[in-house]
Structure formats: C-alpha cells, structure tokens
C-alpha cells in the first residue's frame, strides 16, 4: 500500500494514483458527500432535543457510508445497520492495532499468537479483505465486460445521468489487467483508503464541531456565510459553493491546527540533519509531533485560542510553510487531502444549516488521547437544537 511503500516502488505507485484525485474526479464524489450528509442531518433530528449525546459515532457511520461508496462504489448502509459484520470489523481492527502498538510483548508475532488476541485480529482482517475482494472481483468483471462491448467511460444510467466512477473503478483502469496493479495491490489501496479515510475525517469533524459549539459567535458567523451562499438555492453543496465557504474552511483549518487527526508523523532520515548544532544521523527514526508543532507561539500567537482568522491570507503570508502540516508535507503528503477537505466542508455546511450546536464539555476537561488518531476518551458530547431559520 502507498502508505508504507518506499523508494522507486512508492514513487511509481504515487504517480499512478495521483490522477485518481484530480478535481474533475472529486467533483463526481461530491454527490456522494451530499447524499450521506443530508441523510445524517435527517437522522440527527431525533437527537436534536437539547439532550447531551456523543456525536462521534453518528459522524463515523456517515463517513463510513461515504468512503465505502466513493472507494468501492458499493452502499454499506452503516447509518442504517451499525451492527453489520463489516462495520464492527472496521471499528474493532483499529482498536486491536493500537493495542498491539502499545503493548511491547504483543509485538513479536509468536507472542501475539500465544497470548494476544491474534485470532480476533485475523477474523476482523478476513471480514474486511473478503468484502473488498468480493467488490474487486465484481467490479473487474463489469469493467472487462464494458471494455469488451466497447462502452465509453462517459456512459449514462437509466436516468440519463453520467455514471459515477468509484476509486476502485479508476484503479481498475490504471491496472492494465494486472500489469500495473494486481488484485492484491488493488485490495491494499482500497483498504487503506477505507481505513485512513473514514476515521481521520470523522474524528476531525467531531473535534471541529466541538470547537464551533464552544464559540457561539463563530458559529453565527458560519451561519451568516451559509445564508449568503445558500439562500434561494438547493440543499446540495456544489463545487462553487465550496469555493465560497471561505470562513467555514478557515474554521476547519483552525480545528485541524488544534486537533490534527494524525497527531504524530514518523519519518526515517535518509541523510544527516543538523538542528541547533546537533547532528541527527541518517537512519534515525524521527517523530514529528503535529499536536505540539501547531502550538508554536512564534507561528501561532495565543496558540490555544480557537481563531479561524489565523488562516486569512494576510495572516498566513509570513508563516513558515511547515508550521502547519495536518496532512503532512513534502512529497509524501496525504494524497487524499483535497478529498478530505471537500467531505468535511460538505458535512459541516449541511449540519450547521440545520442545527445549532452546543458543546457540553469544556476544553480543559477533555481527555485527549493519541491512538492511531487523536481522540477524546469520553467522546465529543454536544447538544443539538433545530434552527428555526433552517436553510435549504
């Protein structure tokens, strides 16, 4: 998978996958984001009674539905069936991986199989891999049939609309019948996209909603921007709408500054690096703590204050380019960052047009924990209230 590859193999895979995230392809994904964001907004009506609840689970199921449809072109219906075998396996495997990382005697394979939950880990992986492989098999068959019949890539469905390609469909085109990407390669990339794409986005959205719910003045500025963009328009977010939602985007960026989904980035040095007259030799593993980096007072004065105006162009002008790296940076930056920002903006816009949110837990009382991603131990507890002046 591209996340773990190195050297020439990584470069060739990255070059192969990058076109899959072209803005024209992401434009097709926007319809999926809208559909599931609207569905989440409807489902939250039952909880919009002012009673406290943890919003993380609801957003996570929505993100799972969105990522499954965009990655594999298959409906998971996680919001309707949160107890499905696949949903439970996705949730559990993250916990098991983190547990193994934190317990030294679980790390050797022989000990993990003797005294660890290796059997449960393997069962979860089998569920995930079987699901992905079944989709790959059916999509490859459909893809080969389409090529055999000479059907164009811009074919339409029964409603006359252009059929949307999933991430897997795009990879199948690039695979050249296995010459560039084998079925195992496809499975690894789709699984990575699924695992990395749903958890990071859902947790980021929950943290940002907590921050917005703690600042009523900022929330009202967001709503006023929504009013200016969506008044007299339909309920679905368009690409043009996303471009106009500047303040919301700055709120998301500021939320990712304070609570980056990936709190630690690890790199192996390929050459000696000198920092403050100290030489760190090549071959050293270096951890970049984004959670701390984003709180550098020289780059971000009053770093604990939630201030979306930090990301106004005039305030970013002289900031060090690597002071803010929620999606990493350099050649190995997150290939899906535009995808993630589109999904987050669509989700936030939809929810904040329908509801006013209040955070229950104070910032100083949050129990932040760095698992594979940055979480709150007790969830993100909020209250929701329907807006009387709901926009479309």
pLDDT in tens, 248-272: 999 999 999 999 999 999 888 999 9
Summarize the confidence of residues 46-73 as an average pLDDT.
93
In a domain, 243, yes or no: yes
Which of 185-199, 205-219, 371-385 has the highest mean predicted lDDT (pLDDT)? 205-219
The Cα-based distances of 181 to 76, 131, 138, 194, 196 in angstroms read 25, 19, 16, 18, 20
Instruction: Write down the pLDDT at residue 384.
Output: 97
In a domain, 289, yes or no: no
In a domain, 172, yes or no: yes
Diameter of the chain measured on Cα atoms: 67
Summarize the confidence of residues 205-231 as an average pLDDT.
95
Annotated binding residue 62: no
pLDDT in tens, 146-200: 777 766 555 554 444 556 678 888 888 877 665 677 888 888 888 888 877 788 8
Percent of the chain with pLDDT over 70: 91
Does 374 or 144 have the greater pLDDT score?
Answer: 374
Instruction: Write down the pLDDT at residue 156.
Output: 52
Bridge pairing between strands 355-359 and 381-386: antiparallel
Question: Torsion angle of alpha carbons 25, 27, 32, 34, nearest 10°?
Answer: 170
In a domain, 163, yes or no: yes
CATH of the domain at 73: 1.10.630.10
Instruction: Write down the pLDDT at residue 72.
Output: 86
Residue from 194, 245, 214, 246 nearest 382 by CA: 214
Instruction: Write down the pLDDT at residue 218.
Output: 97
What mean pLDDT, rounded, does the chain reach? Answer: 88
In a domain, 225, yes or no: yes
Q: Is the dihedral of CA 35, 36, 41, 42 positive or negative?
A: positive
325/332 Cα distance (integer angstroms):
12
Instruction: Write down the pLDDT at residue 158.
Output: 43
Residue 245 gets which letter from DSSP?
Answer: -
259/163 Cα distance (integer angstroms):
37
Residue 379 gets which letter from DSSP?
Answer: -
**Residue numbers of the domain that contains 32:** 7-262+294-386
Q: Is the pLDDT of residue 233 over 80?
A: no
Q: Is the pLDDT of residue 51 over 80?
A: yes
In a domain, 392, yes or no: no
391/226 Cα distance (integer angstroms):
8
318/298 Cα distance (integer angstroms):
11
**Residue-wise over 54-83: b if at least 16 C-beta within 10 A, else e?**
ebbebbbbbbbbbbbbbbbbbebbbbeeee
In a domain, 78, yes or no: yes
pLDDT tier, 372 (very low <50, low <70, confident <90, very high otherwise): confident
pLDDT tier, 235 (very low <50, low <70, confident <90, very high otherwise): confident
Does 368 or 194 have the greater pLDDT score?
Answer: 368
Domain tally, the chain: 1
Which of 16-25, 59-68, 70-79 shows the lowest per-residue confidence on average (mean pLDDT)? 16-25
The Cα-based distances of 294 to 93, 205, 258, 334 in angstroms read 29, 18, 7, 17
Reported as type and span, the H/E element at residue 78 is: none
Summarize the confidence of residues 96-100 as an average pLDDT.
89
In a domain, 288, yes or no: no
Cβ–Cβ < 8 Å for 1, 16: no
């Amino acid at each position: 998978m591209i996340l773990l590859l190195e050297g020439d193999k990584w470069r060739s895979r990255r070059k192969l996958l990058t076109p899959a995230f072209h803005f024209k392809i992401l434009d097709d994904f926007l319809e999926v984001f809208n559909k599931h964001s609207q569905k989440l907004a409807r489902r939250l009506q039952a909880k919009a009674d002012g009673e406290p609840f943890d919003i993380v689970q609801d957003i996570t199921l929505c993100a799972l539905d969105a990522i499954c449809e965009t990655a594999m072109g298959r409906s998971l219906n996680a919001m309707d069936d949160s107890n499905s075998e696949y949903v439970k396996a996705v949730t559990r495997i993250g916990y098991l991986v983190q547990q193994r990382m934190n317990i030294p005697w679980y790390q050797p394979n022989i000990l993990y199989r003797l005294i660890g939950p290796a059997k449960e880990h393997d069962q979860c992986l089998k569920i995930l891999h079987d699901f992905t492989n079944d989709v790959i098999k059916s999509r490859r068959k459909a893809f080969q049939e389409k090529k055999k019949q000479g059907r164009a890539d811009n074919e339409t469905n029964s409603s006359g609309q252009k059929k949307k390609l999933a991430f897997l469909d795009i990879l199948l085109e690039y695979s050249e019948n296995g010459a560039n990407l084998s079925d195992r390669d496809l499975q690894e990339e789709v699984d990575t996209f699924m695992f990395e794409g749903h958890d990071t986005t859902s947790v980021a959205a929950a943290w940002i909603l907590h921050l917005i719910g703690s600042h009523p003045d900022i929330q009202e500025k967001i709503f006023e921007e929504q009013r200016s963009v969506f008044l007299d328009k339909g309920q679905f977010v368009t690409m043009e709408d996303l471009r106009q939602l500047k303040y919301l985007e700055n709120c998301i960026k500021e939320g990712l500054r304070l609570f980056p989904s990936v709190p630690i980035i690890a790199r192996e040095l390929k050459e000696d690096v000198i920092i403050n007259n100290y030489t760190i030799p090549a071959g050293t593993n270096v951890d970049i703590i984004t959670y701390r980096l984003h709180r550098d007072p020289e780059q971000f004065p009053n770093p604990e204050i939630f201030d979306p105006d930090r990301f106004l162009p005039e305030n970013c002008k002289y900031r060090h380019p690597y002071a803010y790296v929620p999606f990493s940076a350099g050649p190995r930056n997150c290939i899906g960052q535009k995808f993630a920002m589109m999904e987050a903006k669509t989700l936030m816009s939809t929810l904040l047009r329908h509801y006013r949110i209040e955070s229950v837990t104070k910032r100083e009382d949050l129990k932040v924990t760095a698992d594979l991603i940055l979480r709150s131990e007790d969830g993100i507890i909020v209250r929701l209230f329907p807006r009387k002046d709901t926009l479309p």
